[in-house]
Amino acid sequence: MKITGARIYLVNVGSLHPVLIELFTNEGITGVGEAAIAYGIGGTSAAGMITDLVQAVVLGKDPFRIEELWAEMYDHSFWAKGGGPIVFAGISAIEQALWDIKGKAVGIPVYEFLGGKLRDHVSTYANGWSNRCNTPDEYAAAAERVVRDGYSALKCYPLAMPRSDGGIRHVSRRSVDRAALDLAVERVRATRRAVGPTVAIMLDLSGGLTTDETIRLCQRFADQDILFIEEPADPFDIGALKKISSRVDVPLAVGERVFSRGGYRPILEAHAADVLQPDIGNTGGIMEAKKIAAMAEAYNARIAPHICASPIAIAAALQLDACIANFMIQELYPYRPQAHFQLVDHAPELEVERGQLRIPDRPGLGINLVPDRVRPFLWMEVAP
């Protein structure tokens, strides 16, 4: 079997711009993958990186030789060594698609290649439910809906402000005034009152504040029984993470902006975070995320995979969730526009029951693009 071409899609759905790839083979088997640059700036760059990698490395190659192709992309893109989100997102999208091809060709899910299942279902937490909320009462009402929908865990962004397009705006210039800090605290307290004591709440600060201000804010959350605080500082600032963890009695989580095993190594060596959140769509792919999970296990850290993009992202994450011992909980965005879920034939977000997702048994990633839905977003077609 050989890779004969690819299509790269730059999708626009609501406030997101998922970057998707289809890889084609001479045996008619197609694999899909995703670059996790679906918000912020950089989607077009990621689409270009995927195109370059397919043309330079993947075209004409055997899709079963995944580790070899990964090494070729890493060693000979030049920029992957010490690289950031764009190059690793490109590698990640292609790697997912290669696994998808291999699984479909053999007729088994990807996790069967990685040791098989450790669990049949995974717990999930709802994200995105608070994006249109501002006041504490709005947070409370939205959180009540999440619980009514069967979720027993949820995450929010207490410092963020809603945007008109359905996205959120994070802190600017490392500071907010006292009123904004008080509002953040009241949002969290209102959420806790609304959901009760048994529902898990996670907070994402997106590394917005200075270290001293972060410590003071996190200490104000101490009586709200928070499961973890995500990105309390820039993830590459190990000293700040350590300083915060020494002053705050809530587990810290980082990972959506950490790339490859090399990026996680200093975090683990410093014991700077308790929960790691590799995103399969930008940290290097499924196998790279499994290697990161193995490293984390050696340091007694847990894995809560990050996702930010289309249903392909959660389909890929489920392959990892199935086969790692130190899995904690899976992020999910159940409240996106229907057009988001209609990009694929089996959107996992639509299969949640009481906050649980069954590990699928379909071959590969267990998911395919719906041609009529993605065709308008075709950005590049690569052929020999």
- Looking at residue 295, what is its pLDDT? 98
User: Is it the case that residue 384 has pLDDT exceeding 90?
Assistant: no
Distance CA 186, CA 361 (A): 43
- Looking at residue 111, what is its pLDDT? 98
For residue 31, the domain's CATH number is 3.30.390.10
**Residue 9's pLDDT band (boundaries 50, 70, 90)?**
very high
Token pair, residue 239, equals: 């000293």
What integer is the mean pLDDT of 344-366? 97
Residues 174, 154: one domain? yes
In a domain, 65, yes or no: yes
What's the domain range around 184?
A: 113-358
**H or E stretch at 3:** strand 3-10
Residues 209, 264: one domain? yes
Mapping DSSP to helix (H, G, I), strand (E, B) and coil, where does residue 13 land?
Answer: strand
Token pair, residue 376, equals: 């308008």
Residues 95, 118: one domain? no
- Looking at residue 51, what is its pLDDT? 98
Residues 277, 340: one domain? yes
Contact 155, 203 (CB under 8 A): yes
Distance CA 213, CA 341 (A): 38
- Enumerate the H helices of the chain as residue ranges: 43-53, 66-76, 85-106, 136-148, 178-195, 211-220, 238-247, 260-269, 286-298, 311-323, 338-341, 371-374
Q: What are the helix and strand counts (H, E) for the chain?
A: 12, 15
Residues 350, 240: one domain? yes
Mapping DSSP to helix (H, G, I), strand (E, B) and coil, where does residue 285 land?
Answer: coil
Residues 72, 182: one domain? no
Residues 318, 377: one domain? no
Residues 133, 83: one domain? no
Residues 100, 212: one domain? no
- Looking at residue 43, what is its pLDDT? 97
In a domain, 363, yes or no: no
Residues 100, 142: one domain? no
End-to-end C-alpha distance for the chain, whole angstroms: 15
In a domain, 331, yes or no: yes
What integer is the mean pLDDT of 79-93? 96
In a domain, 255, yes or no: yes
Tell me what percent of the chain is helix, strand and coil, each rounded to the nearest 5. 40, 20, 40
**Residue 258 exposure: Cα atoms within 13 Å on the Cβ side:** 31
The domain total for the chain is 2
What integer is the mean pLDDT of 284-305? 98
Distance CA 203, CA 214 (A): 12
Q: What average pLDDT is seen over the chain?
A: 97
Condensed to tens digits (0 to 9), the pLDDT of residues 302-316 reads: 999 999 889 999 999
For residue 193, the domain's CATH number is 3.20.20.120
User: Is it the case that residue 161 has pLDDT exceeding 90?
Assistant: yes
Residues 87, 118: one domain? no
Condensed to tens digits (0 to 9), the pLDDT of residues 89-107 reads: 999 999 999 999 999 999 9
User: Is it the case that residue 264 has pLDDT exceeding 90?
Assistant: yes
In a domain, 176, yes or no: yes
In a domain, 263, yes or no: yes
In a domain, 60, yes or no: yes
Distance CA 255, CA 308 (A): 12
In a domain, 74, yes or no: yes
Residues 246, 138: one domain? yes
